[in-house]
């Protein structure tokens, strides 16, 4: 069954959000969805670039109250 | 009636543990002499290493023995130092079991067991790579290896995050470049730095400073490269993003984990990073237990400066609890990582929980300051330079306001 994980990286600057995403990705499989909550303004563009590089998908980056919810769908398992 | 003695138990004997023990021994000297309080350090290490010098050992040929002192010589005489590491920590019952089987009860506990660079965490890494994160004597193996180099490709690879001293892979790249230029071998040896991040240094303002310098030196960068395994036979490093790179010499920053005792005690999950309140440094859910330095899960650099500044917070908070003043203090997340960027220039990666690091111009002065910190290190541990260090760092902790959350980063 596909998993939907929520990772809270609020309050940490780069590289915090990316480090948290990598840790979640290592434990993921194709079809899983990761919601990463971030306050670091660089998180969205970094994660978007990483998704492009790694063959995953940034589904959406939603502005919520004081943070951004970055939704990543795992399309490629870690190699 | 004689009061029961209260025990402050510190696990570990690195920078933060040594500074905290000395600070408590100084501030609580009357209570210790009266027998009301004891400060005990439990650790496996007889020796204390000045870890930032590992870069000088690896790339400048410094003598590894010059950066090691006996821990007992660094501790205030009022501190009880026991060479018997913790093997099990029971936060619920205020008890630590040691490797020798002794049970130690405490009133206040501080976990300062640091981080362990562990090449065995990644397939193929241990047998294929050298590193400067597992001590000065291993760093010296890099010095031997680069002196034997005649040509080929050296890959410097960040093989796991988080790791100690975030600037060190960049520094290693510059120092290797300088070494090869001195030996007139730079045209024959390629240097490649692999990083899991989007840019050479994770923080963009600092990356904007170092990237042009790396390019000028001909150091190649592979970004978004999370090492998944190494094939020692094929001499290739593979990333979980699907890239690979061949090497003749692999210098890796190994994946890190918390101390075995922490992991074995079920604290901090698979990698043993202690869940810590980022303001008061109390272990989450425990008023009388603290964590500091590399051991915590706080999203700040694993570095000596953080260890130093956090030890001050823990000292104040333990004393506040002991004296029942209710005046806890909150750490502001200050980091201040020095970074050598070649040609005897340096900069400082400085930030707090609420202010990001800024772009800056590297200078010889900052390089000299980095070196001066290295020379002062052993005295800093004793607390004798506290006034000077406070003047340099400014205020790094504030009275904790009950119910107040850390301001969100904007």
> By the CB < 8 Å criterion, does A48 face chain B?
no
CA Rg, chain A, in Å?
A: 11
Residue pair B334/B396 in contact by the 8 Å Cβ criterion: yes
Chain B nearest-CA distance from A4, in A, is 20
Q: Does B225 touch chain A (CB under 8 A)?
A: no
Contacts of A49 in chain B (CB under 8 A): 198, 224
B161 near A CB under 8 A? yes
- Is A22 part of a structural domain of the chain? yes
Chain A residues with CB under 8 Å of B239 CB are 79
Domain carrying residue A61: 4-73
Q: Rounded to a whole number, what is the distance in Å from the CA of B406 to chain A's nearest CA?
A: 8
- Of the candidates B327, B303, B349, the residue with the CA atom closest to the CA atom of residue B50: B303
pLDDT for the residue numbered B407? 41
User: Residue B44 in contact with residue B99, Cβ under 8 Å?
Assistant: yes
CB atoms closer than 10 angstroms to residue B385: 15
Asked if residue A12 belongs to a domain, the reply is yes
pTM of the model: 0.95
Q: Do B242 and A12 touch (CB under 8 A)?
A: no
Burial class (CB in 10 A: 0-12, 13-18, 19+), A69: middle
**Same CATH fold, B118-256 and B1-44+84-114+259-328?**
yes
Across the interface, which of B196, B203, B240 has its CB nearest the CB of A79?
B240
- Whether A13 maps to a domain, the answer reads yes
Size of interface A-B (CB pairs under 8 A): 74
How does DSSP assign chain A, residue by residue?
---EEEEE-TT--TTHHHHHHHHHHHT--TT-EEEEEE--TTHHHHHHHHHHHHT-EEEEEEEETTEEEEEEE--S---
Give the closest of A13, A15, A22 to B351, CB-based.
A13
Structure tokens at B174: 């510059």
Cα B33 to Cα B36: distance, rounded to the nearest angstrom: 8
Residue A49 in domain: yes
Are B408 and A15 an interchain contact pair (Cβ–Cβ within 8 Å)?
no
Identify any residues that bridge with A38 across adjacent strands, giving them in sequence order.
A68
Task: Name the residue in chain A with its Cα closest to that of B300.
Answer: A12
Which are the catalytic amino acids of A?
Answer: 14
C-alpha distances (whole Å) from B373 to each of B209, B367, B389 are 23, 10, 10
Is A37 part of the contact surface with chain B (CB cutoff 8 Å)?
A: no
CA distance B328 to B27: 16
| pLDDT at residue number B408 | 37
Chain A residue numbers with beta carbons less than 8 Å from the beta carbon of B409 are 10-13, 39-40
Q: Which residue in chain A has the smallest CA separation from B226? A: A22
- Interface predicted TM-score of the whole assembly (ipTM), two decimals: 0.94
**CB neighbours of B165 closer than 8 A, spacing ≥ 6?**
B51, B52, B133, B301, B302, B303, B337
Whether A78 is covered by a domain: the verdict is no
Predicted confidence pLDDT, tens digits, chain B (410 residues): 455 899 999 999 999 999 999 999 999 999 999 999 999 999 998 999 999 999 999 999 999 999 999 999 999 999 999 999 999 999 999 999 999 999 999 999 999 999 999 999 999 999 999 999 999 999 999 999 999 999 999 999 999 999 999 999 999 999 999 999 999 999 999 999 999 999 999 999 999 999 999 999 999 999 999 999 999 999 999 999 999 999 999 999 999 999 999 999 999 999 999 999 999 999 999 999 999 999 999 999 999 999 999 999 999 999 999 999 999 999 999 999 999 999 999 999 999 998 889 999 999 999 999 999 889 999 999 999 999 999 999 999 999 887 665 443 32
Residue of A nearest to B238 (CA): A79
Whether B241 has its CB under 8 Å from any CB of chain A: the answer is yes
B290 burial level (CB within 10 Å; 0-12, 13-18, 19+): buried
Rg, chain B, Cα only: 22
pLDDT bin (cut points 50, 70, 90) of residue A69 is: very high
- Residue A9: CATH number of its domain: 3.30.110.40
Q: Which of residues 275-304 of B touch A (CB under 8 A)?
A: 278, 299
Say yes or no: A15 contacts chain B, CB-CB below 8 A: yes
Cβ neighbors of B228 (< 8 A, separation 6 or more) are A78, A79, B122, B123, B238, B239, B240
* Chosen from B224, B238, B255 to mutate, greatest number of chain A CBs within 10 A: B224
CB B246 within 8 A of CB B153: yes
B6-11 and B108-111 beta bridge pairing: parallel
**Domain B118-256 class?**
alpha beta
Beta strand B227-231 with B220-222: parallel, antiparallel or unpaired? unpaired
The structural domain count of chain A equals 1
Q: Per the structure block, which two tokens stand in for B351?
A: 């930030």
- CATH 3.50.50.60 for domain B1-44+84-114+259-328, yes or no, is yes
A78 Cβ under 8 Å from any chain B Cβ: yes
In angstroms, the separation between the Cα of residue B146 and the nearest Cα of chain A is 30
Q: So where are chain B's domains?
A: 1-44+84-114+259-328, 118-256
Residue A79 lies in a domain: no
Residue A37 lies in a domain: yes
């Amino acid at each position: 069954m596909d998993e939907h994980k929520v990772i809270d990286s609020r309050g940490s600057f780069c590289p915090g959000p990316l480090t948290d995403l990598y840790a979640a990705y290592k434990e993921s499989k194709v079809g899983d969805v990761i919601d990463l909550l971030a306050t670091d303004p660089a998180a969205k563009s970094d994660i978007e670039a990483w998704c492009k590089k790694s063959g995953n998908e940034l589904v959406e980056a939603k502005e919520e109250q004081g943070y951004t919810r970055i939704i990543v769908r795992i399309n490629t398992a870690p190699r | 009636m004689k009061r029961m003695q209260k025990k402050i138990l510190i696990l570990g004997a690195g920078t933060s543990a040594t500074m905290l023990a000395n600070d408590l021994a100084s501030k609580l000297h009357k209570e210790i002499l009266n027998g009301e309080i004891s400060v005990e350090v439990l650790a496996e290490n007889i020796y204390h290493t000045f870890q930032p010098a590992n870069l000088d050992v690896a790339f400048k040929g410094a003598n590894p023995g010059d950066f090691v002192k006996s821990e007992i010589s660094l501790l205030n005489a009022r501190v009880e130092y026991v060479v018997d590491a913790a093997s099990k920590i029971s936060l619920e019952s205020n008890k630590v079991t040691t490797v020798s089987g002794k049970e130690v009860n405490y009133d206040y506990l501080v976990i300062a067991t640091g981080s362990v660079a562990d090449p065995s965490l990644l397939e193929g890494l241990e047998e294929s790579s050298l590193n400067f994160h597992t001590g000065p004597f291993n760093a010296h193996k890099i010095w031997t290896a680069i002196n034997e180099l005649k040509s080929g490709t050296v890959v410097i690879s960040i093989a796991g995050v988080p790791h100690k001293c975030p600037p060190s892979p960049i520094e290693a790249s510059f120092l290797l470049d300088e070494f090869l230029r001195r030996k007139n071998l730079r045209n024959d040896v390629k240097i490649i730095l692999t990083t899991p991040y989007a840019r050479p240094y994770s923080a963009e303002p600092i990356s904007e400073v170092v990237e042009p310098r790396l390019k000028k030196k001909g150091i190649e960068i592979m970004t978004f490269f999370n090492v998944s395994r190494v094939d020692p036979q094929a001499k290739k490093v593979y990333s979980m993003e699907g890239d690979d790179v061949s090497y003749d010499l692999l210098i890796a920053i190994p994946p890190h984990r918390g101390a075995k005792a922490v992991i074995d005690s079920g604290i901090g999950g698979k990698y043993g990073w202690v869940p810590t309140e980022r303001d008061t440094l109390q272990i989450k859910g425990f008023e009388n237990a603290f964590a500091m330095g590399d051991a915590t899960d706080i999203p700040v650099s694993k570095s000596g400066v953080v260890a130093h500044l956090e030890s001050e917070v823990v000292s104040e908070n333990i004393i506040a609890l002991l004296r029942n003043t209710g005046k806890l203090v909150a750490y502001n997340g200050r980091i201040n990582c020095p970074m050598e960027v070649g040609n005897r220039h340096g900069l400082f990666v400085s930030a707090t929980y609420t202010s990001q690091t800024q772009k800056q111009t590297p200078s010889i002065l900052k390089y000299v300051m980095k070196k001066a910190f290295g020379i002062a290190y052993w005295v800093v541990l004793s607390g004798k330079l506290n006034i000077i260090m406070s003047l340099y760092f400014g205020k790094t902790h504030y009275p904790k306001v009950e119910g107040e959350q850390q301001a969100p980063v904007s």
